[in-house]
Every structure is written in structure tokens, then in C-alpha cells.
Amino acid sequence: MWEEIPAGATTLRIRRPPSAEDLIDEAEFADDERLPYWAEIWPSGRVLCNLLAAMDLRGRSVIELGGGIGTGAMVASMRGATALATDWYPAAIAFSRWNAANLGLDMRAEVMDWRDPPAEVLADAPYDLVIGADILYEARNGVALAALIPRMCGPGTQVIIADPRRPDARPFIEGMQRAGWRYVREEVPVAGRVDEAGPIVHVHRFGPPPAGHNAPVVL
């Protein structure tokens, strides 16, 4: 199906599977408790698109974590960034590449499991901007991201995570703060479809601790 995602003054028109539920694979779930959340554009994903649409990203490098179809990376690319969409589902990356090409965007998309990032993605670090939407929905996600995100960042990196106030986001946020990361939170009302978490999405912004104060993020 086609879906339209408002992003500032433009609208992203993308194709995605009509039903995430129809893609549920018992074997995948048994193996790693994977569910095909990638096939939807979540309210936080829409908030992230809108926010990026207001940014001038010319000449910036951007990586999207758990991007699903990668709409955040697409908007970043439209705003002038060298953007990379990542997700652990190969099918998500196939949709990401198809949609980026259909929109005429010069954007990369690569399969990446947070727990085992490919060497070539790490080799391109530090990124100027690390983005994600609705990626802190399980406790194990926070643990994996707390280990991964510092490896993607340099002193000037900004991390932006849009999250619909999932309870499992809290240990990650607190762990980053304890490790000395600068932190600001913004509350953004959701326009359009609201999920079970309600009409407010939190936008979490982090900046690395000052040089020499880099402690591991422990949850």
C-alpha cells in the first residue's frame, strides 16, 4: 500500500506492506522474538520526519537506527545529508532501497542488528547525527543501544530519539545521563494516528560527554 507522511513543507509518499500482522513468522519469533514492526510507520517515526524536515542537514552524515522503511533517513537525505538507513530485517532494507530510489534520493540502506554492527557501518563513524524512532520498546533494545550508540558518536554528534513514552525507554535515558551524556527532552503532540501510548511523543536529544569523561553506559 501507499502511505503519505507529512514532513514539514513536503510529503513523503512511500510504499509499505499493507499489514505487519500478516508478516509475522513463527520461526523468526521462536528464534529471536522478532516481530515485523518495520512494516508500519509509527507515530514517533512521523514526529521524527517532521522534526528533520525543519533541519538544514547539508553536508552532514546521518545514520538511522531501527529505521524500518527508513523514512527518517529519507527526510535527512532530502535535507541534504549523506544518510544511511539501517534495520535488522532484510525485507525492511529492501523496501527502504526501493522507496529511496522511487523518491530519487541518493541514500544508502543496510541490514544492521544493533548487537552485531557491520564493520563498514562502524568504519563510517562518527556520524554527525544518529536518529531513531520508537526503538526503545523492549528492555533488551535499550541494552543493545547503550552499547552501540557511543560507538557511532564523536564529540560533535547529536543523537535524537523519538519515543512514545515506552516504559522500557527509561533505563536507557537514565543510563546515558549517569554516563555523563548531555540530555534534553521535548514533548511533541502527535498529528494523525495515535498508538496505544497516547498523543504525546517524547523527543530525546543526547550529546556525548566532554572529552575524557567517556564512561560506559550501564543500565
Residues near ligand SAM, by CB under 6 A: 37-38, 41-42, 44-45, 66-68, 87-89, 92, 112-115, 133-135, 137, 141, 144
Q: Measured in whole angstroms, how far is the alpha carbon of residue 47 from the centre of its chain?
A: 11
In this complex, which beta carbon is closest to ligand SAM, that of residue 13 or of residue 213? 13
User: Rounded CA gap, 44 and 165, in Å?
Assistant: 10
User: Rounded CA gap, 208 and 175, in Å?
Assistant: 13
Shortest distance, position 78 Cβ to ligand SAM, whole Å? 17
Q: Angle at the Cα of 118 (from 126 to 107), degrees rounded to 5?
A: 65
In this complex, which beta carbon is closest to ligand SAM, that of residue 45 or of residue 208? 45
In this complex, which beta carbon is closest to ligand SAM, that of residue 89 or of residue 181? 89
Distance of CA 55 to CAs 45, 78, 123, Å? 16, 10, 25
Distance of CA 2 to CAs 16, 31, 131, 160, Å? 6, 31, 24, 27
In this complex, which beta carbon is closest to ligand SAM, that of residue 137 or of residue 181? 137
Shortest distance, position 64 Cβ to ligand SAM, whole Å? 7
Shortest distance, position 213 Cβ to ligand SAM, whole Å? 28
Encoded amino acid at 64, one letter: E
Shortest distance, position 134 Cβ to ligand SAM, whole Å? 4
In this complex, which beta carbon is closest to ligand SAM, that of residue 47 or of residue 57? 47
Shortest distance, position 113 Cβ to ligand SAM, whole Å? 4
